[in-house]
């Protein structure tokens, strides 16, 4: 319970919102049975007019609520996995750069800088253009532009840890250098990178939404971005079709930011 108290009111609101969203994603087949892409009613029913379709129907007569709930799944799945991949890759690169130093450091940091120089969104676009859109490739494409900050932060931390006594002790114990880097240093240097988690999850959500808005998402799944794009074609007649999934995006990103602020406030993730 102390962790809950330490979160502060911002973190608590964020955590509750996020828990609700995760529940929505998990329970989607029970809340709204049936295929979310099935045509179930009159097209373009406005929200809150019938009991059957609380949030109305879209251009083709699909239920907006079930599209929204199934969209939560893709959004959270892609965002969490790509942020996790970015953190892991970033902290490995950062650990190697900081621990090895010298030429390896220079090369790895130039690569990191190059990835920072090209807009992450363009990198994702380029990756999708080669691999084609699907959930795993989306995760890969989004993490491609998202790992650099973790690498930089971890490297800085490793540099300050490298000369500590416990590293010297590990060396006298006869551990191999890479063993020291990944078993001794990385776990201690992971804190600052982990505090970037919220920012990278939020960034991943927004990039995924933008990609699927442009039509580069997985064509066989409903996502909030593709819902907004769908609604855009009837923006004048039915603006709610674009506005509702956008609000869902805002709430999700906001809750992630709130959790991040709650965590960084108590400094629990900072060693």
Positions that interact with other proteins (CB under 8 A): 110-111, 113-114, 116-123, 125-126, 128-130, 145, 202, 206, 209-210, 213-216, 228, 232, 235-236, 239, 242-243, 246, 249-251, 253-254, 257-258, 261
**Helix 102-117 with 148-161: angle, nearest 10 deg:** 150
C-beta of 125 vs 175, nearer to other proteins: 125
- Cβ proximity to other proteins, 185 vs 248, nearer residue: 248
Least distance CB 205 / other proteins (angstroms): 9
Closest CA to 68 of 49, 83, 47, 51: 47
Cα distances from 16 to residues 5, 22, 23, 256, in angstroms, run 13, 10, 11, 10
Closer of 125 and 269 to other proteins (Cβ): 125
| Helical (H) or strand (E) element with 259 | helix 240-266
> CA-based Rg of the chain, rounded to a whole angstrom?
22
Residue among 70 and 115 whose Cβ is closer to other proteins: 115
Least distance CB 260 / other proteins (angstroms): 10
Q: Distance (Å, rounded) from C-alpha 7 to C-alpha 2?
A: 9
- In whole angstroms, what is the distance from residue 16 CA to residue 209 CA? 22
CB of residue 45 to other proteins, shortest distance in Å: 19
Q: Closest approach of Cβ 220 to other proteins, in Å?
A: 18
**Residue 180 vs 223, nearer CB to other proteins:** 223
């Amino acid at each position: 319970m102390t962790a809950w108290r330490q979160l502060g009111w911002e973190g608590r609101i964020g955590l509750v919102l996020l828990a609700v969203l995760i529940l929505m994603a998990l329970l989607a087949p029970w809340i709204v049975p049936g295929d979310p892409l099935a045509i179930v009613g009159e097209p373009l029913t406005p929200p809150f007019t019938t009991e059957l379709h609380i949030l109305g129907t879209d251009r083709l007569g699909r239920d907006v609520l079930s599209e929204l709930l199934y969209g939560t799944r893709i959004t959270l799945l892609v965002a969490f996995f790509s942020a996790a991949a970015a953190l892991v890759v970033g902290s490995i690169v950062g650990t190697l750069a900081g621990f090895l130093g010298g030429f390896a450091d220079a090369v790895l940091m130039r690569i990191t800088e190059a990835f920072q120089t090209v807009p992450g969104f363009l990198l994702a676009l380029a990756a999708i253009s080669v691999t084609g859109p699907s959930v795993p490739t989306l995760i890969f494409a989004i993490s491609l532009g998202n790992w650099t900050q973790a690498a930089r932060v971890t490297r800085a931390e490793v540099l300050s840890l490298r000369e500590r006594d416990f590293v010297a002790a590990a060396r006298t114990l006869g551990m191999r250098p890479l063993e020291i880097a990944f078993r001794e240093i990385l776990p201690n240097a992971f804190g600052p990178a982990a505090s970037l988690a919220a920012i990278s999850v939020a960034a991943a959500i927004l990039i995924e939404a933008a990609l699927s808005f442009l039509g580069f998402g997985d064509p066989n799944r409903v996502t909030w971005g593709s819902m907004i794009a769908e609604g855009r074609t009837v923006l004048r007649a039915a603006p709610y079709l674009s506005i509702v999934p956008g609000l869902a995006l805002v709430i999700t990103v906001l809750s992630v930011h709130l959790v991040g602020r709650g965590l960084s406030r108590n400094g629990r993730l900072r060693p």
